Structure 1
Amino acid sequence: MDVLRGLAVAGMVVVTSPGDWGKTYAPLLHAAWNGWTLADMVFPTFLFAVGVAMGLSFPRALTTPEDRKRFWFRVARRVFALIVLGLILAWLYVAAIGAGAWFPGKAGLENIRIPGVPQRIALCYLLAAVLIVFTGRTQSDGRRDVNPVAIGIAAVAILGLYWAAVTFIPVPGYGAGHLDELRSLPAYIDRQIFTPAHLWPLGSALWAGPVTYDPEGLLSTFPAMVNTLLGVLAGYVLRRFPQKAALYIAVAGAILFVAGLLLDPVFVINKRLWTSSFALLSSGVSAVALAGLLWLLRFPVAERALTPLKVLGANAILVFTLSIVLGMVYSFPFFGSGAHRTSIQNQANTFALGFISDPYVASLACAMVMLVLITAIVWPLYRRSIFLRL
């Protein structure tokens, strides 16, 4: 589990920390709109990993009021902590905008982003917990366990209802069935509930013009929950069939991946709207990655080689937070003045180009240095068994 989470957060750091955005390998850039890239698999894999951990944590004793109170208190505390973390990071981003004047006129709490990555994790975790408990099966010893059939039905129902809503519910002024940044139902709902001022500052067509959507918006969080639910099923398989889990999960992952591709002509693969096809395809990728890691980790040499990922995954939330905060520092225009202001990112890329002639390799090298730096920060915590648990 730690290695899978570590793989996800390591990918996030590399994707978000290039030396030069204009000289970044295509797989490390998010798809402009429709389609998918390797970078688009990072967040879904983390959501999938959340589900796997939940699937492994059951069965649980929930027979007494005290048991249930203790369980739901932990769930509520985690959800609250993740939402607060997301809002704090959004506030820091707004403060950085004001100091750096990246988006003139957008610095202030009146422009703080309300949706976000931690917020989406919180909601996916909450729904998964509710479904596991209320659709679960009671074992002979009284403990509550995952009901895989109910979880599977819920996942299919969510994806089907999301497709139907986006396809058939008309957006005022635009009609139904649109899948673009402005006219899609998820974008419209986010504008109405949060208002454009509280959405992702880059949530516009081609990252320019008025903000119209948020990639972690409200309606699109529902299909994202499916990634977590499918992770729950993977965790259940790991627990029930430990000897053949890698094979079963790999086969299921391949089926999900193909299902996502087959659904693409009907409901196009799109991460920013988190279409049903994207949820299936990305869950398939995550499942195959998990199966591959299960197989690799049988070999001691592979286990040792993957220790850095284990270190990152053991403190995944801290790594995520560090990547955001250090990313702000990294891209902040500390140097120069006026139109000639430049950042550590620019300086690092220029330095790398002094040793590496290929600008794409130099840009990737900067991202790898950031990954090494964050790993070095959390490694002493790992050795002392200090983990940030929300």
Structure 2
Amino acid sequence: MNERYYSLDIFRGATVAFMIMVNNPGSWDHIYAPLEHAAWHGCTPTDLVFPFFLFAVGNAMAFVMPRLQVQGNAYFIRKVVRRTLLIFLIGLFLNWSPFFMWQQNQLVVKSWEWTDANGIPHGIRILGVLQRIAIAYCIASFIVFYFKPRGAYIFGTALLLVYWGLCFAFGSSGDPYSITGFFGTAIDQSILGELHMYHGEGIPFDPEGIISTITPAVQVIFGYLVSHYIQQKGKTYEMLSGLLIAGLVLTFIGLFWSLSFPLNKKIWTSSFTVYTTGVAILVLGILIYIVEFKHVKGWWSSFFDAFGKNPLFIFVLSGFLPRLLGLIRIPNGLSANGKTLYTSPFGWFYEHICKNIAADLRVGSLVYAFSMIAFYWLVAYMLNKRKIYIRV
């Protein structure tokens, strides 16, 4: 059965909208707690965004996979490998963009590696969100294609257990799940090189590292299995009740598992995968009930649907445009030693408009984030209106 599920489009679009909001605050120093990632262990609403997107990738896979299976092995491999490489390279392009930077008041080409004015070496980060999506999609696609739904479920579950075992066996004996104890960091450093890793945690550590991409691939598999189940059962209350029960069970399994293998997005623990999948199923089940069964639609569904039509393009644009506009320097006062400070057009909008809305700077930061959602929604709306859909 291949019925159309508008709720899946809304789920995907809402996820993209939330990604834009949490990735584009007016100031990273002034954010409401639910809009921040957990410092290490734990799971905030913001930590749900990325696993929800991977879950949505799996949802879409269930509608595409039958066509790939009909086309045969060679076609499948060519299609998946091409898409994987393209998404990965777009992610690398985004990390490197806008290919120029300001250095000592001069606009210079951003090299693969460079040294700043203080003599500190830097490099282009190799991995990232899109790269993780690409790798997870590739792994999940091959597992689903060759092992079919039942085999994919068994394989995915086995990967979660194997990852747990690897983290425990090869991690630091004192705390294998800490940032310094996680065994995958040493592998990332040896393969990627410290200059080409994320440095936002105070040490070279990549939250989208090589080893920790095993479990996101399982997240995609689970998304596929849920969508496959929805298709097989059709729009029935049996399907809906099964979905909600599965969501509750996985959520509680994830929480129970977290007692020994903590919820952690940055090393994407197995418990985190199961827990966030459970929550995603519950949210999707509620959406299906509202949209497919009760037919409650309106401006809100159209709003999120616009994002869902071009999800990858809108996400890339929301990352690329601020970087590009960052090359435009607008004078913004003087530093303590009398040097001119600069900001970008988006930065000027926050500093001179949003920041002054309330004494609590978190309000202005949130207003800026909502403004970014509105801006990118307008782009998504215009593309959808003209029936322009940018696929990868």
Q: Please tell me the TM-score bracket, short chain as reference.
A: 0.7 to 0.9
- 1:221 maps to 2:221: no
Q: Give the whole-Å Cα distance in 2 for the aligned partners of 1:49 and 1:9.
A: 10
Q: Is the 8 A contact 1:168 1:177 kept in 2?
A: no
Percent of aligned pairs with the same amino acid: 30
Q: 3-state SS of the aligned residue for 1:293? A: helix
C-alpha distance in 1, partners of 2:387/2:78?
24
Structure 2: distance between partners of 1:333 and 1:79 = 33
TM-score (norm 2): 0.86
Deviation, 1:86, is 0.9
**CA displacement 1:239-279 (0-9 Å, x = unmatched):** 01121333322221111111111111201111000011111
Contact 1:260 1:279 in 2 (8 A): yes
Question: How far does the alpha carbon of each residue in 1:73-127 deviate from its partner, in whole angstroms, 9 at most, with x for none?
Answer: 221221111011011111116x46x3278xxxx9531211111111111111111
Is it true that 1:232 corresponds to 2:231 in the alignment? no
Ranges in structure 1 where 5+ consecutive residues have no aligned partner? 137-146
Report if aligned partners of 1:20, 1:346 keep a CA contact under 8 Å in 2.
no
Q: Once the two structures are superposed, what CA deviation does each residue of 1:194-243 show, in whole Å capped at 9, x if it has no partner?
A: 111111132x3xxx3xx321011000000111110110111111101121
8 Å Cα contact 1:18-1:24 kept in structure 2:
yes
For residues 1-390 of structure 1, the aligned pairs below 5 Å read 1-60=8-67, 62=69, 67-92=72-97, 95=99, 98-99=101-102, 108-110=111-113, 111-136=123-148, 147=149, 149-169=150-170, 175=173, 177-202=175-200, 204=201, 208=202, 211-242=203-234, 243-244=236-237, 245-298=239-292, 299-329=294-324, 334-336=329-331, 338=339, 340-350=341-351, 351-390=353-392
Aligned partners of 1:100 and 1:332 also within 8 Å = no
Distance 1:246 1:304 in 2: 24
3-state SS in 2 of match to 1:22 = coil
Which secondary structure state, in structure 2, belongs to the residue aligned with residue 340 of structure 1?
A: strand
In structure 2, how many angstroms separate the alpha carbons of the residues matched to 1:378 and 1:325? 15
Is 337-346 or 275-284 further displaced after alignment? 337-346
User: How many residue pairs end up in the alignment?
Assistant: 364
Q: Distance in 2 between matches of 1:331 and 1:41?
A: 29
Quote the offset at 1:353 in angstroms. 3.7
Long gaps (5+) in structure 2: 1-7, 114-122
- In structure 1, the residue corresponding to 2:180 is in which secondary structure? coil
Query: Using the alignment, how far apart are the partners of 2:51 and 2:299 within structure 1?
Result: 26
**1 CA distance for matches of 2:68 and 2:47?**
37
Asked whether the equivalents of residues 6 and 310 of structure 1 are also in contact (C-alpha less than 8 Å), the reply is yes
The residue type paired with residue 289 of structure 2 is W
Instruction: Check the 8 A contact 1:312/1:378 in 2, yes or no.
Output: yes
How much has 1:70 moved relative to structure 2? 2.3
Task: State the Cα distance separating 1:175 from its structure 2 match.
Answer: 4.8
More strand by proportion, 1 or 2?
A: 2
Higher mean alpha-carbon deviation, 1-10 vs 35-44, is at: 1-10
TM-score between both structures, scaled by the size of structure 1: 0.86
